[in-house]
């Protein structure tokens, strides 16, 4: 079949399906026509590309894609151009193809592209500009580790060598991509320290070239900031487009944009510091597309995408703000918006775990919810498919959250708790549309909120935690958290939070010591040691450092010290593990070795998993995501047997996970492991107390039970989901 005939068929199918979806099913046609068209003509994007006269911008990155894409498209339109754009965020090849089908006569194309799909889209689309916003941990069950996304974007860029890369130089992960790609590049960044408080987890602190620790002159949030490697000189390129003189107040944000023709002052009523990056990225792109500044300014001023991103409502006299947040960095930025409101407030978090969200919600433990516990006048609620997980997470942040079913339910309960509260709804990807639809309907119909029965207002935070009637244990517990800034993937640091809380709730006094690179490891008075999982690069750095002082950990383990090691941390306890096809020496503390399926970092064992373990009555619930396959020596006992049909654990064959050795628990289970498995947490605390007692020659105190209803509900949810 000739290419023209193929294209004609593809277009006919696309047109018919658009009509069908609109008129028969009353559904917007953001993906399907393109999907059908691509089926008929796999080169549909390339074939339609010549329709766009002046140029094409592709926008990629973890956070802010939809906002930046819409801003750039709006600015081009305000500048009098005809624009085609996948405005609703349909960012796979099907979404881009669908938009292109409507692109006849367009002068510019602006396309949001998914990070991993850019490698498929870019070779056909041949954009003039690729705008790279940032890379944060997000949906890691699709990608495994961020390094793999970097590889994929670098491949995409090499497939469109004529494209100019416009990238966020404040992000070392983007800077590293820019340095690898042969494309022309234009960096943007924030030219001053915004003085923001830092969050616990950042996606890298290490040099992308030589693995040394980066020095930051300032850090905005996550890994974004002004960094230099003291060892090899890798550093943030001087931004060609920069934002400065940033002032935020309750009325909005004022900033100066430099670069392009002139310095421009912009005053806008957007909330959230991440919007500074979004506006800056959009400004750089539009300036490069020769959009006059007045048009850009107009676009920013009028920006009201009505897509649930920072969308405001007033419903029956209540101020409501809806926003999307789908990963720790986005969430932390949202919490800052909530915290900047000094008045009474109610906040609901809606968490789903569908395909587009990622099936894993362990990232909730990388969000600094504990900051909310300091807020006055706050009530919190948990909604969405994984609301039980959300409730557990908030419980461990010191916030007692009530479950809600949707937006109306929340608004009514919030109003009953405090009629004057501003209501914040923060929802992840697939949770957002339903919440937004409910709010839109309430808004359009001028809906009145029912006078829900006045609920008790004790659902804030505070001393009345549902901790059962535990008798206090008079003991001190020291938890040593090894390399928390390197080994912290999939919420693993949450294990330390859970251990500390469960000990404190029983009256123990708890000290948590964080040991980072360059510090000596002294475990002489440690009661529990924790090692989390991490991406390959960080895992290798941590293991190198640990190997240099392996004696401390070995002696501690042989002295029956309690150690919990997860995934990457578990692997490095063995004799060797393999990375990039090369054997990396392990600590040799336990008789295990770790290999790769075929030396391939993409061949990963990923998904929710349950175990039957001798250490717990309930199934042990977790989430695995690893390229390494671990094999136990015959003398070693696993931590548990994989229950049900799903889940792998140690490797593709054994049907077992982890290892038990003395008082060591090694496992592939993230989640974090201890969040939904309180029995395992208590097992570790009990062993620690027994060891203390044995050394003192006294009997160990029994561990009184706690009220674990919330944890058990989250455990039961996953048990059901896994069909157990």
Helix (H, G, I), strand (E, B) or coil at 609: strand
Does 626 help bind ligand GLN (rule: CB under 6 A)?
yes
CB atoms within 10 A of CB 49: 17
Cα distance between residue 392 and residue 711, in whole Å: 6
Cα distance between residue 621 and residue 675, in whole Å: 9
Q: In the chain, what is the greatest distance between 2 CA atoms, to the nearest angstrom?
A: 87
CB atoms within 10 A of CB 606: 18
Give me the least distance between CB of 554 and ligand GLN, in Å please.
Answer: 21
Query: Which 538-567 residues touch ligand GLN, going by CB under 6 A?
Result: 539, 567
Alpha-helical runs (H) found in 271-369:
274-288, 293-302, 328-339
- Which lies closer to ligand GLN via its Cβ, residue 620 or residue 627? 627
Question: What is the 3-class SS of 34-84, one letter each residue?
Answer: HHHHHHHCCCHHHHHHHHCCCEEEEEECCCCHHHHHHHHHHHHHHCCCCEE
| Of the residues 61, 568, 647, 658, which one makes contact with ligand GLN according to CB under 6 A | 568
Does 300 help bind ligand GLN (rule: CB under 6 A)?
no
Cα distance between residue 608 and residue 625, in whole Å: 9
Q: Contact, 228 vs 208, CB < 8 A?
A: no
| Of the residues 18, 311, 625, 650, which one makes contact with ligand GLN according to CB under 6 A | 625
- Which lies closer to ligand GLN via its Cβ, residue 323 or residue 539? 539
Select which of 85, 113, 229, 567 is catalytic. Answer: 567
DSSP E strands, 469-627: 476-482, 509-515, 528-531, 562-566, 576-579, 582-585, 592-596, 605-612, 620-626
Q: Contact, 450 vs 483, CB < 8 A?
A: no
Give how many residues touch ligand GLN by CB under 6 A. Answer: 12
Give me the least distance between CB of 532 and ligand GLN, in Å please.
Answer: 7
- Which lies closer to ligand GLN via its Cβ, residue 314 or residue 598? 598
Give me the least distance between CB of 62 and ligand GLN, in Å please.
Answer: 18
Alpha-helical runs (H) found in 305-399:
328-339, 387-396
CB atoms within 10 A of CB 191: 18
Q: Contact, 609 vs 656, CB < 8 A?
A: no
Does 495 help bind ligand GLN (rule: CB under 6 A)?
no
CA distances from 706 to 240, 472, 681, 715 (A): 57, 11, 12, 16
- Which lies closer to ligand GLN via its Cβ, residue 457 or residue 600? 600
- Which lies closer to ligand GLN via its Cβ, residue 535 or residue 647? 535
Does 609 help bind ligand GLN (rule: CB under 6 A)?
no
Q: Contact, 58 vs 127, CB < 8 A?
A: yes
Helix (H, G, I), strand (E, B) or coil at 208: coil
Give me the least distance between CB of 540 and ligand GLN, in Å please.
Answer: 9
- Which lies closer to ligand GLN via its Cβ, residue 308 or residue 533? 533
Give me the least distance between CB of 202 and ligand GLN, in Å please.
Answer: 17
- Which lies closer to ligand GLN via its Cβ, residue 239 or residue 568? 568
- Which lies closer to ligand GLN via its Cβ, residue 112 or residue 545? 545
Q: In what order do the strands lie in the sheet with 562-566?
A: 509-515, 476-482, 528-531, 562-566, 664-667, 659-661
Give me the least distance between CB of 111 and ligand GLN, in Å please.
Answer: 32
Give me the least distance between CB of 423 and ligand GLN, in Å please.
Answer: 36
Does 491 help bind ligand GLN (rule: CB under 6 A)?
no
- Which lies closer to ligand GLN via its Cβ, residue 137 or residue 461? 137
Q: Per-residue x/- marks for ligand GLN, 523-542, CB under 6 A? A: ----------xxxx--x---
Cα distance between residue 111 and residue 70, in whole Å: 9
The angle, 0 to 180 degrees and rounded to 10, between the axes of the packed helices 432-444 and 407-417 is 70
Active site residue 567: yes
Instruction: Select the span of 45-53, 404-412, 520-528, 624-632 touching ligand GLN (CB under 6 A).
Output: 624-632
- Which lies closer to ligand GLN via its Cβ, residue 595 or residue 662? 595
Q: Per-residue x/- marks for ligand GLN, 79-118, CB under 6 A? A: ----------------------------------------
Select which of 102, 396, 626, 670 is catalytic. Answer: 670
Cα distance between residue 311 and residue 476, in whole Å: 48
Does 361 help bind ligand GLN (rule: CB under 6 A)?
no
Residues facing 641 on adjacent strands: 612, 656
Question: Among all residues, whose Cβ is closest to ligand GLN?
Answer: 533
Please report which helix (H) or strand (E) contains residue 312, including its range.
Answer: strand 311-315
Instruction: Select the span of 269-277, 305-313, 327-335, 619-627 touching ligand GLN (CB under 6 A).
Output: 619-627
Does 508 help bind ligand GLN (rule: CB under 6 A)?
no
Give me the least distance between CB of 597 and ligand GLN, in Å please.
Answer: 10
CA 221 distance to own-chain centroid: 14
Instruction: Select the span of 105-113, 390-398, 451-459, 620-628 touching ligand GLN (CB under 6 A).
Output: 620-628
- Which lies closer to ligand GLN via its Cβ, residue 222 or residue 534? 534
Length of the chain: 724
Give me the least distance between CB of 493 and ligand GLN, in Å please.
Answer: 13
Active site residue 636: no
Alpha-helical runs (H) found in 387-431:
387-396, 407-417
- Which lies closer to ligand GLN via its Cβ, residue 538 or residue 708? 538
Does 649 help bind ligand GLN (rule: CB under 6 A)?
no
Give me the least distance between CB of 528 and ligand GLN, in Å please.
Answer: 19
Give me the least distance between CB of 491 and ligand GLN, in Å please.
Answer: 11
Cα distance between residue 556 and residue 526, in whole Å: 9
Cα distance between residue 572 and residue 374, in whole Å: 38
DSSP assignment of 613-650: -TT-SSPEEEEEEESEEEEE-TTPBPSEEEESSS--TT
CA distances from 593 to 493, 576, 604, 663 (A): 24, 5, 17, 19
Query: Which 627-646 residues touch ligand GLN, going by CB under 6 A?
Result: 627-628
Q: CA neighbours within 13 Å on the CB side: how many for 86?
A: 30
Give me the least distance between CB of 570 and ligand GLN, in Å please.
Answer: 8
Question: What is the 3-class SS of 10-26, one letter each residue?
Answer: HHHHHHHHHHHHHHHCC
- Which lies closer to ligand GLN via its Cβ, residue 140 or residue 165? 140
Q: Contact, 69 vs 111, CB < 8 A?
A: yes
Cα distance between residue 319 and residue 301, in whole Å: 21
CB atoms within 10 A of CB 719: 18
Query: Which 431-490 residues touch ligand GLN, going by CB under 6 A?
Result: 489
Give me the least distance between CB of 142 and ligand GLN, in Å please.
Answer: 14
The residues annotated with a catalytic role in the active site are 567, 670
Binding interface with ligand GLN (CB under 6 A): 489, 533-536, 539, 567-568, 625-628
């Amino acid at each position: 079949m000739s290419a023209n005939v193929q294209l004609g068929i593809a277009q006919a199918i696309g047109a018919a399906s658009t009509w069908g979806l609109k008129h028969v099913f009353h559904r917007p046609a953001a993906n399907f026509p393109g999907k059908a068209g691509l089926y008929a003509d796999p080169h549909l994007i390339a074939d339609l590309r010549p329709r766009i006269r002046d140029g094409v911008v592709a926008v990629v990155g973890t956070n802010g894609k939809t906002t930046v894409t819409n801003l750039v498209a709006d600015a081009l339109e305000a500048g009098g151009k005809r624009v085609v754009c996948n405005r609703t965020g349909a960012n796979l090849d099907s979404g881009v193809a669908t938009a292109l089908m409507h692109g006849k006569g367009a002068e510019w194309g602006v396309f949001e592209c998914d990070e991993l799909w850019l490698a498929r889209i870019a070779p056909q689309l041949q954009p003039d500009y690729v705008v790279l916003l940032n890379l944060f941990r997000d949906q890691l069950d699709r990608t495994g580790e961020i390094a793999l996304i970097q590889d994929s974007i670098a491949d995409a860029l090499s497939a469109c060598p004529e494209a100019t890369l416009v990238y966020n130089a404040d992000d070392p992960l983007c800077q590293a991509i820019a340095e690898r790609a042969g494309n022309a590049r234009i960096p943007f960044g924030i030219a001053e320290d915004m003085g923001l408080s830092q969050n616990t987890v950042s996606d890298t602190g290490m040099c992308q070239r030589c693995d040394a620790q980066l020095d930051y002159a300032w850090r905005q949030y996550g890994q974004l900031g002004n960094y230099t490697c003291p060892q090899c000189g890798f550093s943030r390129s001087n931004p060609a487009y920069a934002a400065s003189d940033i002032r935020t107040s309750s009325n909005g944000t004022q900033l100066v944009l430099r670069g392009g023709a002139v310095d421009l002052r912009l005053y806008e009523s957007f909330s959230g510091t991440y919007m500074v990056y979004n506006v800056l990225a959009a400004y750089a792109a539009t300036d490069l597309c020769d959009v006059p500044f007045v048009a850009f300014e107009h676009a920013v001023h009028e920006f009201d995408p009505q897509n649930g991103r920072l969308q405001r409502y007033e419903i029956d006299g209540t101020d409501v703000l809806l926003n999307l947040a789908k990963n720790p960095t986005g969430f932390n930025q949202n919490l800052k918006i909530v915290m900047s409101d000094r008045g009474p407030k109610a906040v609901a978090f809606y968490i789903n775990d569908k395909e587009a969200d990622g099936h894993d919600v362990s990232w909730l433990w990388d969000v600094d919810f504990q900051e909310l516990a300091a807020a006055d006048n706050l009530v919190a609620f948990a909604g969405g498919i994984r609301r039980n997980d959300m409730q557990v997470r908030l419980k461990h942040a010191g916030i007692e959250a009530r479950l809600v079913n949707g937006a109306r339910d929340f608004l009514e309960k919030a109003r009953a708790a405090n009629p004057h509260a501003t209501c914040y709804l923060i929802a992840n990807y697939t949770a957002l549309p339903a919440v937004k639809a409910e709010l839109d309907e309430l808004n359009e119909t001028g809906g009145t909120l029912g006078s829900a029965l006045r609920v008790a207002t004790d659902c804030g935070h505070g001393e009345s935690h549902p901790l059962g009637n535990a008798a206090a244990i008079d003991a001190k517990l020291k938890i040593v958290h090894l390399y928390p800034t390197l080994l912290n993937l999939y919420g693993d640091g949450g294990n330390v939070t859970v251990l500390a809380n469960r000990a404190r709730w029983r009256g123990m006094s708890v000290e948590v010591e964080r040991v980072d690179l360059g510090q000596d490891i002294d475990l002489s008075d440690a009661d529990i040691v924790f090692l989390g999982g991490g991406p390959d690069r960080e895992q290798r750095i941590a293991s190198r450092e640990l190997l240099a002082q392996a004696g401390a950990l070995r002696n501690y383990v042989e002295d029956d010290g309690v150690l919990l090691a997860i995934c990457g941390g578990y692997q490095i306890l063995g004799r060797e593990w393999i990375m990039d096809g090369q054997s990396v020496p392990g600590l040799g503390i336990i008789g295990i070795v770790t290999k790769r399926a075929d030396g391939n970092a993409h061949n990963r064992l990923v998904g929710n998993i349950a175990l039957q373990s001798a250490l717990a009555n309930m199934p042990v619930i977790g989430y695995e995501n690893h390229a390494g396959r671990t094999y136990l020596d015959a003398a070693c006992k696993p931590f548990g047997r994989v229950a049900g049909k799903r889940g792998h654990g140690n490797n593709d064959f054994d049907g077992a996970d982890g290892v038990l050795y003395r008082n060591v628990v090694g496992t592939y289970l993230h989640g974090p492991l201890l969040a939904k498995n309180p029995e395992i947490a208590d097992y570790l605390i009990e062993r620690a107390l027994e060891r203390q007692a044995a050394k003192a020659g006294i009997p160990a105190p029994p561990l009184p039970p706690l009220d674990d209803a919330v944890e058990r509900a989250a455990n039961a949810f996953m048990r059901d989901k896994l069909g157990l």
